[in-house]
Amino acid sequence: MENFVFCTPTNFVFGRGTESQVGKLCIENGATRVLIVYGGGSVVRSGLLDRVRTALTEENLPFGELGGVKPNPEDDLVRIGIDMVRNEHFDFILPVGGGSTIDTAKGIACGALYDGDFWDFYCGKAKIQKALPVGVILTIAAAGSEGSGNSVITNLSNMQKLSLRCPEHLRPRFSILNPELTMTLPPYQTASGICDMMVHIFERYFNNTAETSITDRVSEGVLMSIMDEAPKVMANPQDYGARANIMWAGMLAHNGICGTGVVEDWASHFMEHELSALYGVTHGAGLAVMFPAWLTVVSRINPHRAKQLALRVLHVSPEGKTDEEIIAEGIARLREFWHSLGLPITLKELGIENPDIDTLVRNLHIAKGEPIGNYVKLDRKLTKEIYEEAR
């Protein structure tokens, strides 16, 4: 096991009706003027935004609002938010929504206290020294940004979608997780979120680090629970218990607990980020296509983890089978599972008939260098093979 630091200071407030506590939680975390950030309108339609306004007003907390965050969030709204903070002196950022909204809020939180352009942090030109506090009300179980120290933003000037990682400054102070708030999600978003959280675990599970049995078993347990709960939530979107388990799994998948002591991979995410930057696809659906393609190619070079996953999580029987057959059956089962949730498993099914693979590969290595990943180090010949495999 590798050395590690694992600090998750976020206060998770979980359960029915917990959004009513938001005013108190903001004050406990030093807020005097709150900027609410939200997306394209789901929180308006559900009445959640009104309830948040009421909760802040009850605590005499002044607030402003910035709506309009798009899925795969863009830099322009972050810049608008930064200007609002500077002009109107907000000292606390409150995203109400999903990963895109939370990531926009995190971009505002670090950019508002920085003299240069906030993009410097995302492209690695500068390191965050300080950021405004962020508190979250989550409405979709997916990206895990409610517990992570990450933010992913697309820069429209060069269409780079880059992930910033800074747990010291970007982990939320609190995250309100009410599973009922996820009951209005369209099935495709629920399914995409489930795939995203599973791949957050896979990005950590596929490693070459020795002696990590606790981390392995935690990861396998969360994965198997997700696979048990997912069909329930798809069959009955109002199933509170299933929604609750999926919501908590999304947090556990990405707050770092499933990656303690291991060298993580992240190549599938980098490859998907290029897809969502170029074609605007839903992140989790893009992963349902990219991850099995990645696994097919890398397990030919480094098979040990793919076999372990097939046997322990995907319940492939080893009887009379070669390692290659066990792995192939594991990958097929994973694809079948995501298909059963209504997700695409090829680029064609994702709506990309003629993928521009040369551009995807070029952009990928411009953004992330060469090689990428750790479980198998991928040069551009291999990343091209993976995009081809995904067709």
Q: Does 10 bind ligand NZQ (CB under 6 A)?
A: no
Residue whose CB is less far from ligand NZQ, 75 or 196: 196
Residue closer to ligand NZQ, measured from CB, 65 or 329 = 65
What is the rounded CA–CA span in Å between residue 155 and residue 306? 35
With a CB cutoff of 8 Å and minimum separation 6, the contacts of 159 are: 277, 278, 363
190 binds, among ligand NZQ, Zn ion, none (CB under 5 to 8 A by kind): none
Cβ distance to Zn ion smaller for residue 84 or 194 = 194
Q: Which is nearer to Zn ion, 75 or 272 (CB)?
A: 272
Smallest separation, CB 328 to ligand NZQ (Å): 27
Least distance from Zn ion to the Cβ atom of residue 287, Å: 6
- Could you tell me where the DSSP H helices lie in the chain? 22-28, 42-45, 48-58, 75-88, 99-111, 119-122, 167-170, 187-205, 213-235, 240-254, 267-279, 283-301, 304-312, 323-340, 357-368, 380-390
> Binding to Zn ion (CB under 5 A): which residues in 178-197?
196
- CB nearer to ligand NZQ: pick between 109 and 152: 152
String of contacts with ligand NZQ for each residue 14-53, x by CB under 6 A: -------------------------xxxxx----------
Tokens of 46: 């559900």
Site string for ligand NZQ, 186-205 (x = CB under 6 A): ---x---x--x---------
Amino acid at 335: R
Residues in the chain: 391
Distance between CA 159 and CA 155 in Å, rounded?
5
**Within 13 Å of residue 110, how many CA atoms lie on the same side as its CB?**
28
The residues binding ligand NZQ (CB under 6 A) are: 39-43, 71-73, 97-101, 103, 139-140, 142-145, 148, 150-152, 181-182, 184-185, 189, 193, 196, 254, 269, 283-284
